[in-house]
Amino acid sequence: MKKKIIPLFLTALFIFMILNPNVILEGAKTGILLWFEAVLPSLLPYMIISNLIIIAGLSKDMAFIMKPLTKLLGIKSDAAYCILAGVFFGYPSCAAAAVSMYREKQLDRDTACFVSCAFNNISPAFIAGYVCAGALNDSSKIVPVLILFYIILLLSTILIRIILFRRLPKNTVSSAFVRHTKESLLDSAVMSALTNIARLAGYIVIFSIIAAVISLIPWRFTGVLCSVCEVTTGINIMCRSFADTKLLMLMIIPMLSFGGISGIFQTFGVDTERIIDRKKYIYSKIIAMTVSFACTYLAVYVFGII
């Protein structure tokens, strides 16, 4: 059955692309601009420096601030750097760091999978800049939205740990360490970063095109469907479709926690070592979205914080 459905789907898609070139072109332009103007300058330098830190064996010293959280979660302190990357730098930094640390034998597979599932999230810069100051045009919401987002992150992480990752190794990881020559260290860091950033470009363009096609649906909640596919486009459409700020918060913040299907594929794209359990990662995002919806509803409609 699949052998028949897939060719039919691809044929229909190809015909649609020929008949609607403007939609495809607009989606592709949006994706390329998003990658070039936002993702490339913000992530590529971080990825290079992050790879250098990991390859040089400095990750433990750089992430001491997150080590209390590793104790709370009962995981190895070596994972603190991945948590730091996820909390501050956004998709797919945490997963990329976890993959690099696993490759360098600084982290075991199960712990790398857990931190990728729990802490691979939208960056605070995106929430503050694009969502609050940009789409919502209200900078006063930056602090309360970020506080709410990180409360949601902590609660969902605890649930993910309990539900999906009950057993994780607690002893320190083996001291085995991949040694690099000084000449190859920078080259390895740069090439790994360039490979990952190129993958992201492809996924962002593909899902921006899909979101552009979805946006043609004549429905008030089309923005929500677009957000499930690609968050940036979806938030923009939702803010144009609704004037009720409370309702917007209830729709946007859970979508930020989910990250969109594009974010999922971006994460899988940097997972060159196949350390992330695909099913667990998707379940983790659904858990995070559910927790986010409940917490946002309480914050907006019950306590009136936002």
How much is the pLDDT for 183? 56
> What would the DSSP string read from start to end of 281-297?
HHHHHHHHHHHHHHHHH
pLDDT tens digits for range 63-100:
788 989 999 999 988 899 999 999 988 888 899 999 99
CB 208 within 8 A of CB 233: yes
Residue 151: which of 302, 259, 299, 252 has the closest Cα?
299
Rounded CA gap, 108 and 205, in Å? 33
pLDDT tens digits for range 266-306:
899 999 889 999 999 999 999 999 999 999 999 999 998 87
Rounded CA gap, 121 and 93, in Å? 9
CB 169 within 8 A of CB 107: no
CB 75 within 8 A of CB 170: yes
Q: With 0-12 CB in 10 A as exposed, 13-18 as middle and 19+ as buried, what is 186?
A: middle
What does each C-alpha distance from 12 to 5, 18, 28, 204, 210 come to in angstroms?
10, 10, 19, 22, 14
pTM confidence score = 0.87
Q: Render each residue's pLDDT in the chain as its tens digit; 306 residues.
A: 556 677 887 787 778 888 888 988 988 998 898 888 877 887 788 888 888 888 887 777 777 889 899 999 999 888 999 999 999 888 888 999 999 999 888 899 999 999 999 999 998 988 998 899 988 989 999 999 999 999 999 999 999 999 999 988 765 544 454 555 555 778 888 888 888 888 888 888 988 898 888 888 888 889 999 999 989 888 988 998 898 999 999 999 999 999 999 999 989 999 988 999 999 999 999 999 999 999 999 999 999 887
Residue 214: which of 32, 37, 9, 16 has the closest Cα?
16
- In 172-223, DSSP assigns E strands to none
Domain ranges of the chain: 40-302
